[in-house]
């Protein structure tokens, strides 16, 4: 997947495991994401506050016992960040209760590169379509409510310059 | 003649755009740009370091074009009036001096000092150049006192310049909005026959268009405080000048709509901060202070947080702003329809803000009032022994009326007060028959222990009064109902073997809490079907039941049950059997 310089999504990796960090950075920077990586969640939150990443990949070890507060912090600074959890297969069940809090998907370790690319591609596509939908709805709304003013203006200029009745 | 003026104005427009474009392009190639680095931060949306040097280039180019126009303009092309020329020069130089220190990373200027300097500049414009509001007529009031008008003019100038500074939050927004405003002011000057002022406006919009080529998303350069304050201040001064230029009465709404978006954004933000602080019990003084604390909840932030990119957000806000500007021109053209345009524009503003969830606090309050009445919150339902399927179905069902609390049978047995206030079993004597009537027909088991326990409690209860005929009367059900923790309790039977046990529990809950009890069973007991004389408190629903139908039934029944005065009457009615099956 290739992104233009203009539309490059910025991505944050929070993981204590250096090998996970390294793998993810190599894999994702290679396919055009702008990748930041940190070790602890406090560093991650500071980084997120400053750069408002579009996607956050969290190691399951970096999740606190009550992740609601941490995920809320993400939400405060960017309303809809997409959060992925990287977890070993046996840790997967720990994450399911938190799926409601805004976690998008779980990626199991060790990574299968193709699957990771596929998940991220689907995710970026999803957010793009959501945003596009929101934009179109908003624009239709704006056009709809402002239409009478524009009609009057067009009618006036048509009358003035083209002898319109 | 007129044609040559139009051609020269277009040339001036293109020249100024080209000059700014080149000026910024050259600046970005020089190391000078590192003086104005703007790093990403907590309240900022951009993700990479971008210089804030755009405003300095804009100011510089504006000065150059102003000199060119004034000294080398061709014959027949109107020169700028001395007043406007001097004012523009003064504003540009002052703001350049203030903004340079604010934008650079090397020097620092305190916000309060900057604000003080802005007021000073505005005061000098008003007193030395004499540009101030001539007279204000609003709601039948006429303000003609020169001191008051001067103060209002200073407030207007400082307010608009800061408002433009504040809306400069995403790429290209402040530039686009001010371009639209300057074009509108230019058209309005044309209607007032002030050709020179109109040309100045078109020239300024040309300057901003040149800058916008570098500022549209992703921005290579930002406007910075120099640019936004400069554009805001010139816009506000031109608007005051516009009022003076019109000989006939000038509607205040026109002024408001031309600078509409910045004014709305800032005023709504201040009101929002005040109420947020006020409702958090901070007191009026603290709330007033909170009005000026910066946050990232402005209109453009809201659009970006919805997932729109910068270009899309700017497009939406520019359309909104352009509509207000068109309304301003139409008010000038059709003064007879002034009120129509004003009211309709107000409707547009309110509906736009509503769409951006600015009235969330109020709509939520109103919705709660409609759904739950004034005093009460959600109706609370206790669900006893819910299996995972029932749990998920009830939790995930989208309804705003009931809140669920899941409890298990063991919990209730372990702690009597788990259901809230532990009430005395204040029963009427005929409740005995209710209990026995359920179980008399049931051949298998009779909960005599429960009956005797209840009767003992009734006899010992000091609140009970014997009427001499064996009928006890005590605290009414209505009284109990007010204190109860749950509006209704749903008891789930996981199999037919649990029915008897759950019925005992149901009777106990009924007598202690006097709330509606619903038992979900696979087969409704024959006794319940046969016994028409049974009390109505226990409802049976047969599994499998549809959750939406269950909630709608519950909604209907709870309406009656929560009218406390009716509870006592309801308790005397005949059995109601509900099977919630679609």
φ and ψ of B49, to 5 deg: -70, 130
Q: Pick the more confident residue, A34 or B352.
A: B352
| Interchain contact, B42 vs A146, CB within 8 Å | no
- A50, closest residue in chain B (CA to CA): B41
Rounded Cα distance between A88 and A61, Å, is: 10
User: What angle is formed at CA B94 by the lines to CA B91 and CA B97, rounded to 5 degrees?
Assistant: 145
| Interchain contact, A80 vs B305, CB within 8 Å | yes
Rounded Cα distance between B227 and B161, Å, is: 10
The residue segments making up the domain with residue A105 are 10-132
Q: What is the DSSP letter of B365?
A: H
Strand pairing category for B538-542 and B516-521: parallel
pLDDT of res. B555: 76
Radius of gyration, alpha carbons of chain B: 37
- B323, closest residue in chain A (CA to CA): A146
And the tokens for A155?
Answer: 């009618």
Q: Which residues of A touch B341 (CB under 8 A)?
A: 149
Mean pLDDT score, B536-540: 65
| Interchain contact, B40 vs A78, CB within 8 Å | no
Query: Looking at CA atoms only, how far is residue B317 from chain A in angstroms?
Result: 9
pLDDT at B258 over 50: yes
Q: Helices marked H in chain A — which ranges? A: 18-30, 41-51, 67-77, 92-95, 113-162
Identify the residue among B276, B295, B306, B310 best suited for mutation to test binding to A, counting A beta carbons within 10 A and taking the highest.
Answer: B306
Whether a cis peptide bond, with omega within 30° of 0, leads into A110 is yes
pLDDT at B434 over 60: no
On whether residue A3 sits in a domain, the answer given is no
CA proximity to B559, closest of B384, B376, B363, B367: B376
pLDDT of res. B65: 93
Rounded Cα distance between A81 and A123, Å, is: 11
On whether residue A146 sits in a domain, the answer given is no
| Interchain contact, B305 vs A79, CB within 8 Å | yes
Q: Report yes or no: B109 at the A interface, CB cutoff 8 Å.
A: no
The shortest CB-CB distance from B344 to any of A52, A127, A149 is to A149
Q: What percent of chain B has pLDDT over 90?
A: 31
Q: Helices marked H in B291-430 — which ranges? A: 299-305, 310-333, 338-355, 360-372, 388-396, 409-414
Average pLDDT, chain A: 80
Which run of H or E residues covers position B473?
strand B472-473
Q: Which residues of A touch B351 (CB under 8 A)?
A: 145
Give pLDDT tens digits for B332-383: 888 888 888 999 999 999 999 999 888 887 887 777 666 554 445 567 788 8
Q: Is B345 in contact with B335 (CB distance < 8 Å)?
A: no
pLDDT of res. B551: 81
| Interchain contact, A78 vs B305, CB within 8 Å | yes
| Interchain contact, A134 vs B330, CB within 8 Å | no
Q: Report yes or no: B330 at the A interface, CB cutoff 8 Å.
A: yes
The shortest CB-CB distance from B319 to any of A80, A142, A148 is to A142
Q: Which residues of A touch B305 (CB under 8 A)?
A: 78-80
Distance of CA B173 to the CA centre of its chain: 21
On whether residue A99 sits in a domain, the answer given is yes
Q: Is B420 in contact with B484 (CB distance < 8 Å)?
A: yes
Give pLDDT tens digits for B278-296: 888 788 888 888 888 888 7
On whether residue A2 sits in a domain, the answer given is no
Instruction: Render B474-509 in DSSP notation, one character per residue.
Output: -S-HHHHHHHBS-SEEEEE-SSGGGHHHHHHHHHHH
A to B CB pairs, distance under 8 Å: 72
Q: Is A27 in contact with A4 (CB distance < 8 Å)?
A: no
| Interchain contact, B41 vs A80, CB within 8 Å | no
Query: Looking at CA atoms only, how far is residue B85 from chain A in angstroms?
Result: 32
Rounded Cα distance between A7 and B414, Å, is: 60
Query: Looking at CA atoms only, how far is residue A10 from chain B in angstroms?
Result: 8
Window from A39-53, B251-265, B453-467 with minimum mean pLDDT: B453-467
Most confident of A82-96, B245-259, B282-296, B464-478: B282-296
Query: Looking at CA atoms only, how far is residue A116 from chain B in angstroms?
Result: 23
Whether a cis peptide bond, with omega within 30° of 0, leads into B42 is no
Please state the domain count of chain A.
1
CA proximity to A122, closest of A80, A74, A82: A82
Q: Is B571 in contact with B536 (CB distance < 8 Å)?
A: yes
Rounded Cα distance between B237 and B257, Å, is: 15
pTM of the prediction? Answer: 0.73
Query: Looking at CA atoms only, how far is residue B499 from chain A in angstroms?
Result: 32
Q: Helices marked H in B373-463 — which ranges? A: 388-396, 409-414, 431-440, 448-460
On whether residue A156 sits in a domain, the answer given is no
pLDDT of res. A123: 82
pLDDT at B482 over 50: no
Q: Could you tell me the pLDDT band of residue A163, with boundaries at 50, 70 and 90?
A: low
Strand pairing partners for A38? Answer: A14
Q: Which residues of A touch B333 (CB under 8 A)?
A: 156
On whether residue A151 sits in a domain, the answer given is no
Q: Could you tell me the pLDDT band of residue B214, with boundaries at 50, 70 and 90?
A: very high
Identify the residue among B40, B41, B44, B47 best suited for mutation to test binding to A, counting A beta carbons within 10 A and taking the highest.
Answer: B47
| Interchain contact, B305 vs A6, CB within 8 Å | no
On whether residue A157 sits in a domain, the answer given is no
CA proximity to B330, closest of B345, B352, B320: B345
User: Domain of A93: which CATH number?
Assistant: 3.40.50.2300
Q: Which residues of B touch A150 (CB under 8 A)?
A: 323, 326
| Interchain contact, A52 vs B47, CB within 8 Å | yes
Which ipTM score applies to this complex? 0.77
């Amino acid at each position: 997947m290739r992104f233009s310089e203009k539309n490059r999504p910025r991505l944050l990796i929070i993981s204590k495991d250096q090998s996970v960090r390294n793998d993810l950075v190599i894999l994702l920077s290679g396919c055009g994401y702008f990748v930041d990586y940190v070790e602890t969640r406090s560093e991650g939150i500071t980084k997120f506050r400053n750069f408002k990443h579009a996607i956050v990949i969290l190691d399951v070890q970096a999740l606190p016992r009550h992740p609601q507060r941490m995920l809320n912090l993400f939400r405060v600074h960017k309303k809809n960040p997409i959060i992925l959890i990287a977890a070993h297969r046996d840790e997967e069940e720990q994450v399911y209760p938190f799926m409601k809090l805004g976690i998008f998907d779980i990626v199991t370790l060790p990574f299968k590169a193709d699957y990771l690319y596929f998940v991220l591609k689907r995710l970026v596509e999803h957010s793009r379509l959501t945003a596009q939908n929101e934009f179109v709805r908003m624009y239709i709304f704006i056009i709809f409510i402002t239409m009478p003013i524009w009609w009057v203006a067009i009618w006036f200029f048509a009358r003035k310059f083209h002898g319109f009745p | 003649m007129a044609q040559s003026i139009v051609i020269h104005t277009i040339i001036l427009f293109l020249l100024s755009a080209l000059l700014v474009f080149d000026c910024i392009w050259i600046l970005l190639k020089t190391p000078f740009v590192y003086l104005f680095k703007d790093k990403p931060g907590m309240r900022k949306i951009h993700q990479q370091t971008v210089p804030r040097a755009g405003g300095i280039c804009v100011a510089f180019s504006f000065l150059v074009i102003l000199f060119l126009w004034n000294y080398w303009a061709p014959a027949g092309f109107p020169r700028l009036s001395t007043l406007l020329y001097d004012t523009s020069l003064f504003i540009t130089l002052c703001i350049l001096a203030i903004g340079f220190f604010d934008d650079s990373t090397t020097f620092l200027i305190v916000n309060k000092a900057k604000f003080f300097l802005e007021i000073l500049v505005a005061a000098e414009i008003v007193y030395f150049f004499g540009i101030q509001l001539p007279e204000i007529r609003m709601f039948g009031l006429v303000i003609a006192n020169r001191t008051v008008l001067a103060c209002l003019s200073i407030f207007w100038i400082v307010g608009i310049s800061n408002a433009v500074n504040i809306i400069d939050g995403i790429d290209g927004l402040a530039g686009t909005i001010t371009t639209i405003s300057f074009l509108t002011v230019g058209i309005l000057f044309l209607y007032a026959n002030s050709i020179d002022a109109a040309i100045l406006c078109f020239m300024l919009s040309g300057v901003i268009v040149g800058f916008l080529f570098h500022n549209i998303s992703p921005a290579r350069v930002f406007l910075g405080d120099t640019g936004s304050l400069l554009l805001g201040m010139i816009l506000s001064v031109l608007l005051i000048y516009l009022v003076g230029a019109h000989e006939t009465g000038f509607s205040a709404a026109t002024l408001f709509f031309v600078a509409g978006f910045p004014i709305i954004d800032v005023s709504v933000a201040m009101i929002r901060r005040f109420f947020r602080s006020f409702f958090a019990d901070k007191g009026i003084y603290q709330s007033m202070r909170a009005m000026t604390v910066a946050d990232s909840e402005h209109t453009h932030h809201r659009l970006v947080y919805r997932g729109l990119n910068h270009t899309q957000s700017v497009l939406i806000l520019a359309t909104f702003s352009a509509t207000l500007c068109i309304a301003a021109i139409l008010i000038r053209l059709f003064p007879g329809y002034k009120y129509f345009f004003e009211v309709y524009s107000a409707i547009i503003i309110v509906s736009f803000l509503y769409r951006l969830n600015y009235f969330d606090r109020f709509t939520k309050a109103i919705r709660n009032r409609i759904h739950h009445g004034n005093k009460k919150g959600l109706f609370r339902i206790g669900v006893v022994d819910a299996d995972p399927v029932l749990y998920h179905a009830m939790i995930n069902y989208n309804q705003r009326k009931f809140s669920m609390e899941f409890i298990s049978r063991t919990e209730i047995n372990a702690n009597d007060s788990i259901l809230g206030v532990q009430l005395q079993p204040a029963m009427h004597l005929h409740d005995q028959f209710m209990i026995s009537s359920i179980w008399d027909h049931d051949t298998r088991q009779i909960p005599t222990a429960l009956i005797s326990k209840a009767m003992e409690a009734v006899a010992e209860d000091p609140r009970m009064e014997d009427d001499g005929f064996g009928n006890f009367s005590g605290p009414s059900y209505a009284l109990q109902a007010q204190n109860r923790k749950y509006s209704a309790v749903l008891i789930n039977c996981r199999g037919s073997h649990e029915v008897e046990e759950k019925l005992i529990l149901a009777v106990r809950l009924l007598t202690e809490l006097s709330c509606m009890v619903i038992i979900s069973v696979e087969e409704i007991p024959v006794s319940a079907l046969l016994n028409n004389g049974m009390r109505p408190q226990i409802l049976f629903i047969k599994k499998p039941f549809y959750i939406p139908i269950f909630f709608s039934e519950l909604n209907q029944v709870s309406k009656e049950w929560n009218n406390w005065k009716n509870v006592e009457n309801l308790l005397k009615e005949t059995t109601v059997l509900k099977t919630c099956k679609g």
